[in-house]
Amino acid sequence: MAQSLDLFEIIRKEFEEEKVDIRTYSPLSLAYIGDSIYDLIIRSYVVGKGNTSNNKLHKVCTSYVSAKAQSYIAGELLPKLSEEEASVYKRGRNSKPQSGAKNATLSEYLKATGFEALLGYLFLEGRTERLMELVKEAIRITDERIDN
């Protein structure tokens, strides 16, 4: 198996930033970076499937990254999480965001925030392999839901 790439560690070293205890980050900070990482992975995955119009790329990506989709994914993944991962997810889900999603209920938005917080936590901890396992499972869950 290929060695895991710790992108956050590379970024931190490039910009000469001090190491910070990730456990001190707010759940919304974790969700902020988790949202970006998930979006980047999904966009890479979708673009990797072949060249197509930007409109189609956006539509396909949205089916994976919308708050509704992430809420559903979170519900399916929760029983498969470790105690530590579930704790991070719950911190994100129980956070008090300043805004909500445009096309989702508050409950869906909070579950999506928990999912993003977990992904952000794994990214910042350098746990790339586990992050990718969960994203692959999220893709499988979404594809299965779309096909049904």
> Is pLDDT of 134 > 50?
yes
Show the 3-state SS of the chain. CCCCCCHHHHHHHHCCCCCCCHHHCCHHHHHHHHHHHHHHHHHHHHHHCCCCCHHHHHHHHHHHHCHHHHHHHHHHHHHHCCHHHHHHHHHHHCCCCCCCCCCCCHHHHHHHHHHHHHHHHHHHCCCHHHHHHHHHHHHHHHHHHHHC
Least confident of 3-7, 12-16, 30-34: 3-7
Which of 6, 21, 35, 143 does the annotation list as catalytic? Answer: 35
Q: Which domains does the chain have, with CATH numbers?
A: 23-147 (1.10.1520.10)
- Output the average pLDDT for the chain: 90
pLDDT tens across 31-87, in order? 999 999 999 999 999 999 888 899 999 999 999 999 999 999 999 999 999 999 999
Of residues 20 and 134, more confidence is placed in 134
Q: Is 35 a catalytic residue?
A: yes
